[in-house]
Amino acid sequence: MAFDFYLSTMWSVLKALPLTLEIWFFGIAFGLIIATGLTWLRASGYKLGEYFTRGYVFVFRGSPLLVQLYLIYFGLSQFDFVRHSPILWPILRDPMYCTIVAMALNTAAYESEIFRGALRAVPVGQIEAAKAFGMSAFTRFRLVTLPIALRLALPAYSTEIILMTKATALASVVTIMEMMGTAQKIQHDTFRPIEVLTCAGVIYLLLNLSIARLFAWVEHRLSPHLRPPPEQSQLVKPIPEVL
């Protein structure tokens, strides 16, 4: 009986997984586009661009995502021009699009900081060597700066992606029936919150663990130069544990 309940809850919540993944995917994709723009603006050297990105990052990192979501979903519709606009209104009256917009804007702030740090961490020697080879600025960026920076940004980026998975649950407060919303509904119908939320929790945890594994694998694949060659690693004696 109890087992049947777990199974049916698990199944109902799993049926909402595609919707969660949809919010997740589009939030991350649009966030990446905005973050790229912000990073470019910040790195371009224009004072105005720098002030804008600084302000953007300050605002979106300093306030809770829930406030940003409510502001976009409930707040912006107060403007007449938003309600009469043929482009903005279809986006901003739909809670689904609003969640995606809020998530994308929010994650872009964090990601642009990650990318900025990664760009700054590219060793100067590498760039100098590329210059000495007579590479043009674009070739230098494409062949030297970008690959190194992407590799450096990966660990922090994976953390941000996991934060985004957790943030998709906020869509349930603006009536989206994704995994969290579905779990909420089952919980209200059955009055068994612990069982229902445990089921949803297991799915979220598995989702996050697989994302983490995936990123760890990509990281491992991208850093063969950091691993010791196999025969050498066996020669190195382990440092004795003193404590």
Partner 1 sequence: MEFLSDLKDQVSTAYELLAAGWGVQLLWGIAWTLAVTVISMLIGAVLGSLVAAAKLSHRGGLRLIGESYTTVFRGEPELLIIYLFYYGGTQVLTGVARSTGSIGSTDILNMPSFLGGVLAVGIISGAYQAEVFRGSFLAIHRGELEAARAYGMSAWLRFRLVIMPQVLRLAVPGLGNVWQLTIKDSALISVTGVAELMLTANKAARSTHHSLLFYTLAGILYLVMTSVSTPIFDKAERYTSRSFTRPK
Closest separation in Å from C-beta 31 to partner 1: 17
By CB under 8 A, is residue 214 in contact with partner 1?
A: no
Which residue, 24 or 115, has its beta carbon nearer to partner 1?
24
Q: Which of 3, 48, 78, 234 binds partner 1 (CB under 8 A)?
A: 78
By CB under 8 A, is residue 200 in contact with partner 1?
A: yes
Could you say which DSSP state residue 136 is in?
-
CB atoms inside a 10 Å sphere around CB 119: 18
Q: How far apart are CA 69 and CA 87, in angstroms?
A: 19
Q: Is 178 helix (H, G, I), strand (E, B) or coil?
A: coil
Which residue, 149 or 169, has its beta carbon nearer to partner 1?
169
Using the contact rule CB under 8 A, the part of the chain among 83-91, 122-130, 194-202, 216-224 near partner 1 is 194-202
Note whether 98 and 174 are within 8 A (CB).
Answer: yes
By CB under 8 A, is residue 216 in contact with partner 1?
A: no
By CB under 8 A, is residue 172 in contact with partner 1?
A: yes
Closest separation in Å from C-beta 212 to partner 1: 8
- In the chain, the N- to C-terminal Cα span, in Å, equals 51
Q: Which of 39, 53, 168, 182 binds partner 1 (CB under 8 A)?
A: 168
By CB under 8 A, is residue 192 in contact with partner 1?
A: yes
Q: How far apart are CA 151 and CA 118, in angstroms?
A: 8
Long-range contacts for 11-17 (Cβ within 8 Å, ≥24 apart)? Answer: 12/182, 12/186, 13/179, 13/182, 13/183, 13/186, 13/199, 13/200, 13/203, 14/203, 15/182, 16/177, 16/178, 16/179, 16/181, 16/182, 17/179, 17/203, 17/207
Using the contact rule CB under 8 A, the part of the chain among 89-97, 123-131, 149-157, 159-167 near partner 1 is 159-167
Angle at the Cα of 168 (from 163 to 171), degrees rounded to 5? 145
Encoding tokens for residue 188?
Answer: 């209200």
Q: How far apart are CA 170 and CA 43, in angstroms?
A: 32
By CB under 8 A, is residue 74 in contact with partner 1?
A: yes
Q: Which of 6, 70, 97, 141 binds partner 1 (CB under 8 A)?
A: 70
Using the contact rule CB under 8 A, the part of the chain among 30-38, 116-124, 181-189, 226-234 near partner 1 is 181-189
CB atoms inside a 10 Å sphere around CB 122: 17
By CB under 8 A, is residue 98 in contact with partner 1?
A: no
Q: Which of 40, 51, 58, 133 binds partner 1 (CB under 8 A)?
A: 58
Binding site for partner 1 (CB under 8 A): 58-59, 62-68, 70-71, 74-79, 162, 165-170, 172-173, 180, 183-184, 187, 191-194, 197-198, 200-201, 204-205, 208-209, 242-243
